[in-house]
Each structure stands twice: as C-alpha cells, then as structure tokens.
Structure 1
Amino acid sequence: MSTQYVLFDAPGPRSRRIITILNILVALIVIGVLVWVYQALAAQGQMSPHLWWNAINTNAWVNYLLPGLTFTLQAAAIAVVSSVVFGLFFGFLRLAPVRILRWISMVIVEFFRAVPVLVLMVFLHFFFSQYLSNVIDPRNSAYYAVIVALTLYNGAVIAELVRAGVRSLPAGQREAALAVGMTTTKSLRYVEVPQALVAMLPSLVSQFVIILKDSALGYIIGFSELLRYSRHLGAGYGNIMQALVVAAIIFIIINSLLVQLAQMLSRRLSSRTSGVTEVGIPGIAPIAGDTVEDEATETRAQAIIQQDKRK
C-alpha cells in the first residue's frame, strides 16, 4: 500500500538529496558550536570535574537542590489547583447566559491576561508585606505573592481556554441537550465543559508547565525556590554555572514528565470518548462522529434530567 501525501507532494530524488545535505550541514554546525562552547569553558577552568561534582553530590542535594525543588513544586502545585478553579469559574461565567456576568468576567480575565506575571508578583509582594503584615508573615509574603500571581495570570489563561474549548464544540452538542429539556446552564455544566476539558487537555498541561517555569521568577522577590538555592550552592562552592545547569536539567526533566503524562492522558481519554465511524470518503467520517457524539450527549442529558426529577 502506497503512502498518500494529502497536504504536500512527496519529495522527489533531487529534493531528498537536498534535504539530506541540509541535515548534514546543520548537524555539523551544531557539533561545531558545541565543541567551541566546550573549549571556551575548558579554557576558563569551568569543565573541572570537582566543580561539577560539588553541584551534584549528596551535600548539594540534601542542603540545596532538594529544599529548593520542594518549595518550587509546592508553590507550583498549589498554583495549578487554584488556577484551574479560577479558570473554570470565570470560564463558565464567560459562557453564562446573563450578559452582565459575561462582561464582568471578560474584564477580569482580560486584565490579568494583559498584566505580566512578574509585575503581579512584585506588586503582590509589596502589598502583602506593607498592608497585610498583620495577616501574612512578612517572611512568607514572597511565597504567597508567587502563588497568587501565578493563580491570577494562569487562571485567566485557563478561563479563555475553557471558553474557546466550549465554542469549538459542534453545535449539535448544545442542541441535543436543549432538545431533551436541559437549560443552557446545565448544558454547559454537564455536557459542554466536560468535553471541552478533554479537548483542551494538551493546552492545559502546557499551561501547567508554564506555571512551573514561571515559579522561578519568584527569585526576583526573594522566594526561596530552586533557582535561589542553586545560586546559594554556586556562591558557596564557586560553581555558579554548574549549579544553574543542574537546576535547568531538573526543570527540563520535570517538564518532560508532565508532557509525557499529558500525552498519555490524552490518548486514553480520546480512546474512551471517540465515536466509532466507518472509514470512507474524507469529510463523511466527521459527520458520522458528530452523530454518535450527539446521541451520547442526548443519552447523558436524559439521565441527568431523570435524576433531577427524582430529587
């Protein structure tokens, strides 16, 4: 069976040779840059084994890397949960049938999306330490400022993701729910938003990765996270570059694990929610899929209405 290229023509022999040559040239350039960087660092003594060992030995992990990583993951985890709650709440309001609620939520979401997260951190740190010192310990003001700033900014982004995800659903989803007697609010709550969450799962996890990375901005306001502890490690042993490289590798590993988790969840959810359609002429299968989804939506809606009647 021959492979069909729908969006572009298959490259011919001449094009394949050009692509191969370009790949080799790019690989040689990358290798040359890496060799040049290594030699430049070695000339400055930065490739000395003891400098790297002091950045990864037991003392570095116990006293610097693990405490910093703990604070980073703790702040990021709290910010993820709170931003999802914030995003679902205001995303639901942005889809509400009441116009005034849509306007209020739109203003709030657009405001926090427009303000840089670092500006939010600096402002909240100043506000907490100056005006809420009797409620929040000034020593913890940076910690709370990071969490609240990440929540407001990323929650606003998630709210927009929810709105866009619901709007991207086929119109038959809401029509099927309304046809069996559900209100617009119940259609959003039980039918549209759950499906939108499944569809936007990759975007959600990408936003979680951004939350984890943006937690490093707390270094500016004195938050004791992985970057700050890495700086302390480098200052103590004279290996700042090595300590920062180790911190960067830790961030890369955690973010890669999050991406892999998102892909796994997306595959499992897609296999559970996808309708069974016959493969045929392009353009026919999506219509059949929509019909299956509409029938499933109507069945779920009828079950919800029956539960409400029993109550």
Structure 2
Amino acid sequence: MSNVLYDLPGPKARLRNRVFGVVTVIAIVALLAYIVERFYSTGQFNAVKWQQFEYKSVQQDLLDGYLTTLRAAGTAAVLALALGVLLAAGRLSDHAWFRAPCSLLVELFRAIPLLVLIFFAYYGPIQLGYKVGAFWPLVFGLTLYNGAVLAEIFRAGVHAVAKGQSEAAYALGMRKTQVMFSILLPQAIRAMLPAIVSQLVVLLKDTALGFIIQLPELLYVGKGIGGKLAFELPYVPSYLIVAAIYITTCGLLSWFAFWLQKRLIGGGRRRTTAKPLPLPDAGKTATVV
C-alpha cells in the first residue's frame, strides 16, 4: 500500500530501520557510559566536590542566579514579542515608508551576532562616559536579535493562512487592522506557537551570555561555585547542576507550549452529553395498515 508522497517501507526496510535504531541506541548508551566512567576515574563524583551544595548559602546563590536568569529571559521575551509584532506588521504593511525600514531592521539584527549586540549595549555607554549595569545590555541584545527572528516567524505564520480568509473579510467591509487581529492572527497563532516557543527557549539559553559581561546569572554563579579550591575545584559538578536546571526549565517551557497548542486546537471542543436514543425492540413487528 502506498501514498502519493510517501511509500510505506517493506520488510527489508523495516528490518534495516530497526537495526539502525538499535545501533544508535547502543552508541548513545556507550557514549554516556564512557563519559560517566571518565568522570568517575577523574574523581568528579568524590564526596568533597559535592559537599558544598549541602550548604544553604550555596543553594541561595544558585537560586539568586536562577532568578536573575528568569528575570532577564522574561523581560527580554516580552520586549522581543512586542518588537517582533511591530516589525512583522511593518513588513506586512502596504506602505513603503513603513515596510522598508522594518525590513532593513529585521535583516540587520538577524545578521549581527548576539554577542556583538550585547557588547555594543554594554561597552558603548561606557565609552561615552555613562555607567551601566550588566542586566539591561543583556536584555537589549536579546530583544533586538530575538525580536527580528520572531518578526519573521509572525510574518510566515500570517502568510500561511489561506488567502481566501482575508479576501472574505475584505468583502464584508472589514479594515486591514480588523482582518489582521480578528481573522488572520487567531488562525496563524496555532501554526506559529511551536516556532515561537522554540525561539523563546533559545532566548532563555542565550541569557548565559550575560556571563561575559559579569551578570550574576546562573552560569556566572555556577562558575564561582566551581572555583572554590577548598572543595577541589568542583567545576564539573557545578556545571552539571547548572545544566540540569537549564534542561528542566526548557523542558517545562516546551511542555507548556505543547499543552497550550493542544488546548488551542482541540481543547475548546466540548464533548456532547446527549444520551443515545434506544433502538426499537426487534421482537415487535410493525403493523401494516
């Protein structure tokens, strides 16, 4: 049995896929086992390297760094979403005086590396004689870069909606703003949600670049904890804990996006509570008049 775009694999192809899957799993398990063995042989699991994580002061430092990471990511996410909507609206505009600058900004901010934007926002005011903290330069760089990327996501999502939707709305006399916010965006948001969340996960991980400008975020705090000579420089245990926190946070964000997308697509449908009608008794025969 075949499809126009995809042929179902035959017995040999299924066997080959199973063999490749088993080999891949074995290779991944072997790699993890080798990494764990190297950590163990180099003493990374010694009790002294993990002892400091029992102290409340160290736990409080990790919590403070984590909260700083979340605060920077949350602030940059809100600003990036707002900037992305504005730039996407400009790129979709019929007016050249608005569309051209927005297109230029999108291409410019996407082309500049994020670290360069952060350095420019941090060291630029210092060269002009102004003292700035490390928080807002990081937020500034994250906002510009991710806002430009989100603008393209929004624009692609709007273009993905069937053209007949907007044509029908215009035929009813709706203005372009009404068509955008009442017709196109509610439908496009379902298609855009996975890409938006993926970009927000990238934004969350990119907050670790605040380490370069000495923002006391999670990675910076982890490096400070790992540099304590009294505990035999536990860099690996510290970075493992930091990585676990990042993985857990990104996993929860992805799970929430999946739940939200499922809710938007099918969650609003109410199940019927009507009871089925009883079938007529088969033993009774109809009387023909």
Task: Report the TM range for the smaller structure's normalisation.
Answer: 0.7 to 0.9
- Deviation for aligned residue 1:46: 1.3
Aligned to 1:305: none
Distance 2:165 2:109 in 1: 31
Q: Which of 249, 257, 263 lines up with 1:262 in the alignment? A: 257
Query: Compared with structure 1, are the counterparts of its residues 27 and 195 closer, same or farther at alpha carbon in structure 2 (3 Å cutoff)?
Result: closer
Give me the whole-angstrom Cα distance separating, in 2, the residues matched to 1:157 and 1:65: 31
Q: Which residue of 2 aligns with 1:185?
A: 177
Which residue of the partner structure matches residue 79 of structure 1? 76
1:228-269 Cα distance to aligned partner (Å, 9 max, x none): 000001112310111011101100000011101111111111
Q: 1:147-206 CA deviation, whole Å, 9 max, x = no partner? A: 011001101111111111111111111111111111223322332233322320111111
Alpha-carbon deviations, 1:58-78, whole Å to 9, x = none?
44211x210110100000000
Relative distance call for 1:29 and 1:56 in structure 2 (3 A) is: farther
Paired letter, 2:148: A
Q: Which residue of 1 aligns with 2:124?
A: 127
Taking a change above 3 Å as real, the CA distance of residues 144 and 132 of structure 1, as seen in their structure-2 partners, is farther
Partner of residue 247, structure 2: 252
Looking at structure 2, the residues matched to 273 and 167 of structure 1 have their Cα atoms a distance apart, in angstroms, of 25
Alignment of 1:153-168 (within 5 A): 153-168=145-160
Match of 1:117 among 114, 119, 131: 114
Counterpart check, 1:61 vs 2:59: yes
TM-score (norm 1): 0.79
- How many residue pairs are counted as aligned between the two chains? 266
On the 8 A contact 1:86/1:156 being kept in 2, the answer is yes
CA distance in 2, matches of 1:41, 1:158: 40
User: In proportion to residue count, which structure has more helix?
Assistant: 1
Q: Could you tell me which amino acid in structure 2 is paired with residue 232 of structure 1?
A: G
Q: Which has the larger radius of gyration?
A: 2
Q: 2:238 aligns with which of 240, 243, 247?
A: 243
CA 1:162–1:24 in 2, change beyond 3 Å: closer, same or farther?
A: closer
Q: Kindly indicate whether the alpha-carbon contact (under 8 Å) linking 1:216 and 1:225 is maintained by their aligned counterparts in 2.
A: yes
Task: Identify unmatched segments of 5+ residues in structure 1.
Answer: 275-311
Q: Per the alignment, in what secondary structure is the counterpart of residue 212 of structure 2?
A: helix
Partner of 1:105: 102
The residue identity in structure 2 corresponding to 1:68 is G
- AA matched with 2:106: V
SS in 1 for 2:227: helix
- Name the amino acid aligned to 2:249: I
User: What are the superposed Cα offsets for residues 266-293 of structure 1, whole Å, 9 maximum, x if unpaired?
Assistant: 111112689xxxxxxxxxxxxxxxxxxx
Q: CA RMSD, aligned part only? A: 2.2
Tell me which of 266, 275, 279 is aligned to 1:271: 266
Q: Is there any run of 5+ residues in structure 2 with no aligned partner, and where?
A: 270-289
After TM superposition, the score normalised by the length of structure 2 is 0.85
Task: Give the secondary structure class of the aligned counterpart of 1:221.
Answer: coil
Shift of the alpha carbon at 1:98? 0.9
CA deviations 1:213-241 (Å, max 9, x no partner) are 00101111111110000000111231011
> Within 5 Å, which residues of 2 pair with 1:222-237?
222-236=214-228, 237=231
Match of 1:25 among 13, 23, 42: 23
State the one-letter code of the partner of 1:91: A
For residues 132 and 80 of structure 1, do their structure 2 counterparts lie closer, same or farther at Cα, with a shift above 3 Å needed? farther
The yes-or-no answer on 1:204 pairing with 2:196 is yes
| Matching residue within 46, 49, 52 for 2:47 | 49
